[in-house]
Amino acid sequence: MKLSNVLSMALASITGAKSIGKPNEVDALAAESLHRMNAYYSENPLPSPRTCTLDNVAVRRDWSALSKQERRSYIKAVKCLAKLPAKTPAAIASGAKSRYDDLVVTHILQAFTIHGTANFLTWHRYYTWAFEQMLRNECGYKGYQPYYNWGHWADDPEASPFFDGSDTSMSGDGAYVANRSSVCFPSAEMCYIQLQPGSGGGCVTSGPFKDWTINLGPLAAVSLPPPTPNPQPNGLGYNPRCLSRDISLQSSAETSDSVVAALIKDNTTITSFQTVLGGEFAQGKMGPHVGGHNTIGGDAGSDFINSPADPAFFAHHAMVDRVYWTWQNLDLEGRKEAIAGGTSGVGEPGEAGTLEDVTTLGEWVGVGNVTIREAMSTVGGPFCYVYA
């Protein structure tokens, strides 16, 4: 079956990455996965044919491929969410001051059941989609969630249009803080990796989010200098402070094109794919997911519980989802419902996760619950998107 016009445009956008002279094996794998997805659904029914077809599917694109006006529209919508009043009751989170904070609260409350778990990939897929829907439905955004293409900029993140500090970026690095030592990662008790200081460490000083205020957390920060403690042990108290970043080349190396391509090609089971993506800390490997977070630093990097407080979180997790989407579509027959892991990411894994487990974003984000099964396909359940 011939690719639909929408998918043809997506494919052209992927192959266009070659023109900027960046590594592109991951992009080539994404293009192949798009072809295979089209071929599979040419012979098999779509998961949600009444709401999502290959002709009306949305296309999520690389931030670098967006026009400056498209980037400004996204930035404006993100800032809009930070101006709308929170729906989370003060009795639940006194630090939640905006609709954006409603999302952060949800991540904080569920942090230990959505990381290192069977639902990690699908939960964050649903979470990123919910953010996209809030931008569109509550703030008038007409586009779709962009992703930050790690491998294109792993050797110099600050050269990317995403982190270059311009007025069409998601702001740049934090102010440089000198005389810092390395910190143990993931914790002082499990010091598997010595995370060296990056090129910032302080408040973001350039770009549209230089005046962004973080209201919640911190909870699990391992950075230096340490952030101001939250007045409540659960991190949900009001703790206004600047957005800090500490861009790290040590961490971005974990997201290079060759590393991510190997992740996609060499791991044929969901168990091994999730393990390598999430990091093999005892072997000194952060993995692309954690490496991407630590590339940013600040709350987005050093505090996995409060990490969505930095708006760069969502483009990073869109790239996590793109890699997962690519891996799934390369073998849809075998991977479209592949699941592994438990229901708890702390200590004992709990019961094994199942496709019927419910994914919830709580009461205040504004979307209903879905099962893991419903979140397995980006063209099924509540979704209707692919990646360029």
Per-residue model confidence (pLDDT) at position 221: 83
Q: Which H helix or E strand runs over 251?
A: helix 249-252
| Rounded Cα distance, 302 and 344, in Å | 21
How confident is the model over 270-281, as a mean pLDDT?
97
Query: What sign does the CA torsion over 267, 319, 240, 171 have?
Result: positive
Each residue's pLDDT tens digit, 218-270: 998 887 788 899 999 999 999 999 999 999 999 999 999 999 999 999 999 99
Q: How far is CA 341 from the centre of its chain?
A: 20
Percentage with pLDDT > 90 across the chain: 88
Span of 16-20, 30-34, 71-75, 184-188 with lowest mean pLDDT: 16-20
Strands (E), 177-258: 183-186, 191-195, 201-204, 213-214, 241-242
Spatial neighbors of 226 by CB under 8 A, at least 6 apart, are 218
End-to-end CA distance of the chain: 19
Q: Is the pLDDT of residue 324 over 60?
A: yes
Per-residue model confidence (pLDDT) at position 119: 98
| Rounded Cα distance, 66 and 288, in Å | 23
Each residue's pLDDT tens digit, 29-59: 999 999 999 999 999 999 999 999 989 999 9
Each residue's pLDDT tens digit, 180-222: 999 999 888 889 999 999 999 999 999 999 999 999 999 988 8
Spatial neighbors of 219 by CB under 8 A, at least 6 apart, are 108, 111, 230, 234, 235, 303, 305, 306
Asked if residues 129 and 287 have their Cβ atoms less than 8 Å apart, the reply is no
| Rounded Cα distance, 371 and 388, in Å | 26
What's the full length of the chain, in residues? 388
Per-residue model confidence (pLDDT) at position 1: 44
How do the domains of the chain map onto residue ranges? Answer: 5-387
Closest to 100 measured CA to CA, from 313, 305, 297: 313
Q: Is the pLDDT of residue 368 over 70?
A: yes
Question: pLDDT band for position 2 (50/70/90)?
Answer: low
Q: Is the pLDDT of residue 162 over 70?
A: yes
Per-residue model confidence (pLDDT) at position 14: 79
Question: pLDDT band for position 61 (50/70/90)?
Answer: very high
| Rounded Cα distance, 112 and 110, in Å | 6
Judging by beta carbons within 10 Å of its beta carbon (0-12, 13-18, 19+), is residue 371 exposed, middle or buried?
middle
Per-residue model confidence (pLDDT) at position 300: 86
Output the average pLDDT for the chain: 94
Token digits for 134? 């809030």
Question: pLDDT band for position 9 (50/70/90)?
Answer: confident
CATH tag for 5-387 (out of 2.60.40.10, 3.40.50.620, 3.30.565.10, 1.10.1280.10): 1.10.1280.10
Q: Is the pLDDT of residue 20 over 70?
A: no
Span of 7-21, 72-86, 134-148, 355-369 with lowest mean pLDDT: 7-21
